[in-house]
Structure 1
Amino acid sequence: MDIRTTQHNPPAAATANAAGERRGPGATPDLDWRVRIAGLGRYLPRQRVDSAQIEDRVGLPRGWALENSGVAFRHWAEPETERASWMGAQAALQACERAGVAPAELDLIVNASGSAERAIPDGGPLLQRELGLGRSGIPSLSVHATCLSFVAALELAAERIHHGRIARALVVSSEIASVGLDFANPEVCTLFGDGAAAAVLERAPHDSPSRIHRIAWRTMGEGVEITTLRGGGSWRPPLGPSTQPADALFSMQGQAALRSGIRLVPYVMRRLGLDDMAARAALRWVAPHQASRAALEVIEQIGFPGAAMVRTLEHTGNCIAASIPLALEQGVREGLIRRGDPGVLLGTGAGLSGVGLTLTY
């Protein structure tokens, strides 16, 4: 069986209607939410893991991971000293510093991660405590939509800010994928990395161009088994009679995930008002989920003339929900994304879901 994630045949421009995809509704109205990302931060674990180390461990030829998964190296956390909540707090503190905001000034803290440090409580209170705010009373909660958790949390927080319910929010994605990798599956064990990224959101001043524009989300639940981790819940509890050790490991059918993701593209692009080249030409940046080398190639083939596509995959791997904010942070830090530049967040996640969010930074 060919497990390489780069073997695919994307549709022309990847925006033509996929088989079985009804034309459906057009673009959603521009939300025009006066919200801006005031600061971004990141944290990458201290341990760098080169792809050659994994290739030697599992018996792959040197260079396999870069060619197929698109990853040269990634960072893996030391779980006892680099817990997910601690990593998230490091990214959050950097984001707050860059935003000129003290953590105590936050009105909402959202943990937006696909992996969990523990089952109960959720990651919101854990993150709040790591920030030294355990007695603050600041509402702290989690939004879990696997790889798309950051976008889901961004929408939730931005809407509250736009409607005046809160003034400022912190959204953090902190992921430790390395503890659940199946080293018998090369496309899984070579793809994922650990990391955290955070964003401080606030109401944009009247003279600021920053806005949230459109959000498109589409889910096809028939794909729940394509990417899954069966253990950890009520279906496969640790001591359950049917539970197997493999239930604690992430399982992915790379080719099926890619094909299913491609089928979601036309709807998402249409709802964002980006189904023609002229509209895409107005964008200045694209911050996609770093799902795989093949997935990034599909996004490139859509065609975003004049837009910088931010890539982190080669040096971080797929960091689940942290991938999109890590790309945002890198784009801003490297000057690819500047204040007033319009752009788009794009990605797919387990379930299977596709999402897009257009904003002016």
Structure 2
Amino acid sequence: MKTSVIKGIGHYVPERIVTNAELEKYMNTTNEWIVERTGINERRFFNPEVDTVANMSAKASRMAIERAGLSVQDIDFIVFATITPDYFFPGSGVLLQRELGLENIGALDLRNACSGFIYGLSVADQFIKTGMYKTVLVVGAEIQSSTLELNDRGRNVSVIFGDGAGAVVLQASEEKGKGILSTHLHSDGRFAEELYVKDPGSSRKPEERLTTEIIEGPSIRAHMNGNMVFKHAVQRFQEVIHEALEANKMTKEQIDLLVPHQANLRISKYLQEQLHLSDDRVYNNIMRYGNTTAASIPIAMSEAWAEGKMSEGKVVCLAAFGSGFTWASALIKM
């Protein structure tokens, strides 16, 4: 059976840097409060005149394809993870296909929020293993700043999120013991409403689907039960990482680099402590970008790759937890 190897990784973040000090102008918060609770110092917000989810993804994809030593025309299929598509429909996969100048290849969209990129890797890995596709582009991208309430009502959510895109090129290989060793996907819909955006939902009477009250109210904004999310995240992160290790008969000592979803620096630090990993074996960039949901892991991977932390032979573990609740992991031998 073929394996899926990572040939190239890329990312793009908008130019506009929004510091904690800037957020102090809009809401009752402080730099110290934000850093203490999230670890975030700054994040990127998109420029409506320049950035779209599709073209940010195209920039990240071109970087990944170039780093892979391939051409755009080598891409056979696109898997696109986002919860903030440019349009209600169609999905962003076809928009990326158009941006890249590709014709007729398939494009699949996933809406698994913070776990979306790992879900996407798993889907792409199965396509490659079965021989259906040889070279698959997996993308995670979000523009979340346009939905944030920069006021006291939205403070607890708005200080966390940012915009950006990341992409990975997966390609079939005959080399054993290399590439994606395994992926592990889970969900628990009992907690769906603990982290969600309710409106505009389709399960409404036509006259109630998008009213003035909805537009002006909190239901079109992200609702997050922070304590509940944190409690479940620290548990599920650990479980799914150990699941990946056990599936491959490996130990935590064999992890060269853990790249967790950048949800909260406190969660990453807790994981690091529980797994007894040194600072150089955990990659965090939430300080600079905030939580970019489906984009967070590929952005972090791209930076880690550029810094030489994902060189050939390294064992890399990816792990995510988020809305759904969903959680996932992937173990990769570079």
Q: TM-score, normalised by structure 2?
A: 0.91
Stretches of structure 1 that go unaligned for 5 or more consecutive residues are 1-31
**Aligned mate of 2:132, from 162, 165, 176:** 165
Q: Which residue of 1 aligns with 2:58?
A: 89
Corresponding letter in the other structure for 1:223: F
Corresponding letter in the other structure for 2:191: G
**C-alpha distance after superposition, 1:123-163 (max 9, x if no partner):** 11111111122xx1111121221111111111111111122
Work out the CA distance in 1 between the residues paired with 2:238 and 2:74. Answer: 41
Residue pair 1:111, 1:123 contacting (<8 A) in 2 also: yes
Aligned residue runs from structure 1 range 27-176, under 5 A: 34-133=3-102, 136-176=103-143
Work out the CA distance in 2 between the residues paired with 1:267 and 1:111. Answer: 26
Q: Which residue of 2 aligns with 1:255?
A: 227
Q: Which residue of 1 aligns with 2:252?
A: 280
CA shift for structure 1 position 278: 7.3
CA shift for structure 1 position 84: 0.6
Deviates more, 1:279-288 or 1:75-84: 75-84
Stretches of structure 2 that go unaligned for 5 or more consecutive residues are none
**Aligned mate of 2:324, from 348, 351, 355:** 351
**C-alpha distance after superposition, 1:204-247 (max 9, x if no partner):** 253x7522222222212111111111113313675259735322
CA shift for structure 1 position 51: 1.1
Residue pair 2:119, 2:185 contacting (<8 A) in 1 also: no
Per the alignment, in what secondary structure is the counterpart of residue 225 of structure 1?
helix
Corresponding letter in the other structure for 1:192: F
**Aligned mate of 1:226, from 194, 205, 215:** 194
Deviates more, 1:33-42 or 1:302-311: 302-311
**C-alpha distance after superposition, 1:319-342 (max 9, x if no partner):** 000001111111111111211111
Deviates more, 1:244-253 or 1:310-319: 244-253
Per the alignment, in what secondary structure is the counterpart of residue 66 of structure 2?
helix
Residue pair 1:55, 1:65 contacting (<8 A) in 2 also: no
Work out the CA distance in 2 between the residues paired with 1:328 and 1:217. Answer: 19
Per the alignment, in what secondary structure is the counterpart of residue 357 of structure 1?
strand
Residue pair 1:310, 1:330 contacting (<8 A) in 2 also: no
**C-alpha distance after superposition, 1:251-272 (max 9, x if no partner):** 1111110112233245424422
Residue pair 1:33, 1:211 contacting (<8 A) in 2 also: no
CA shift for structure 1 position 115: 1.7
Work out the CA distance in 1 between the residues paired with 2:16 and 2:171. Answer: 34
Work out the CA distance in 2 between the residues paired with 1:347 and 1:209. Answer: 23
Q: Which residue of 2 aligns with 1:239?
A: 210
Work out the CA distance in 2 between the residues paired with 1:39 and 1:178. Answer: 28
Q: CA distance change for structure 1 residues 278 and 158 in 2, over 3 Å: closer, same or farther?
A: closer
Per the alignment, in what secondary structure is the counterpart of residue 171 of structure 2?
strand
CA shift for structure 1 position 346: 0.6
Corresponding letter in the other structure for 2:13: L
Residue pair 2:92, 2:109 contacting (<8 A) in 1 also: yes
Work out the CA distance in 2 between the residues paired with 1:63 and 1:41. Answer: 32
Q: Number of residue pairs matched?
A: 326
Q: Which residue of 2 aligns with 1:325?
A: 298
Corresponding letter in the other structure for 1:256: M
Q: CA distance change for structure 1 residues 294 and 80 in 2, over 3 Å: closer, same or farther?
A: same
Residue pair 1:55, 1:64 contacting (<8 A) in 2 also: no
Is 2:308 aligned against 1:341? no
Deviates more, 1:137-146 or 1:37-46: 137-146
Per the alignment, in what secondary structure is the counterpart of residue 218 of structure 1?
strand
Residue pair 1:43, 1:91 contacting (<8 A) in 2 also: yes
Aligned residue runs from structure 1 range 210-221, under 5 A: 210-221=178-189
Residue pair 2:241, 2:319 contacting (<8 A) in 1 also: no
Query: Which of the pair is proportionally richer in helix?
Result: 2
Work out the CA distance in 2 between the residues paired with 1:332 and 1:60. Answer: 35
Q: Which residue of 2 aligns with 1:303?
A: 275
Q: TM-score, normalised by structure 1?
A: 0.85
Q: Which residue of 2 aligns with 1:15?
A: none
Work out the CA distance in 2 between the residues paired with 1:249 and 1:318. Answer: 16
Corresponding letter in the other structure for 2:202: S
CA shift for structure 1 position 80: 3.7
For the aligned residues, what is the CA RMSD? 2.2
Residue pair 1:261, 1:348 contacting (<8 A) in 2 also: yes
Residue pair 1:110, 1:170 contacting (<8 A) in 2 also: yes
Residue pair 2:202, 2:209 contacting (<8 A) in 1 also: no
